Amino acid sequence: MAQCQVLLEIEELEAATTNQLAKNLKLDKSTLSRTVDSLVKLELVDRTESPDDRRYKTLILTAEGKHRCESIHRENDALYEKMFQKLNPSTRDSILNHFNDLIQVMETWYDSGKDDNGCC
């Protein structure tokens, strides 16, 4: 699961550092480092030196990594579609509206920096 999260976050950012990923995904650096190492070994992610500072590595998706992200999105979409088809249309619409409201609240919360509660 952590590998999928890391892949999708790199996809979202287009290029990322381990510090960015650790902060965004709320993962400790040792866990993230092992996860990134495995993704590099699987040839899903490339590490490149920062042109400004060789100590920093930028993580980008390989072509295979991009393909894997597309597969993850397709599989998730199919799963959600299958679940939502079991609901009647008015219930489905109501859930989607409330879910969009929740997303807006969460984005505002995270953007404000109030997500750092010292946990984990």
pLDDT bin (cut points 50, 70, 90) of residue 115 is low
Residue 95 to residue 72: CA distance in whole angstroms:
23
Q: What is the largest CA-CA distance in the chain?
A: 56
DSSP letters spanning 19-35? HHHHHHHT--HHHHHHH
Residue 54 phi, psi dihedral angles, 5° rounding: -65, -15
The count of residues in the chain is: 120
Say which residue, 93 or 115, is predicted with more confidence: 93
pTM over 0.85: no
Residue 114 to residue 59: CA distance in whole angstroms:
27
pLDDT at 101 over 70: yes
pLDDT tens column, 35-65:
999 999 999 999 998 777 778 889 999 999 9
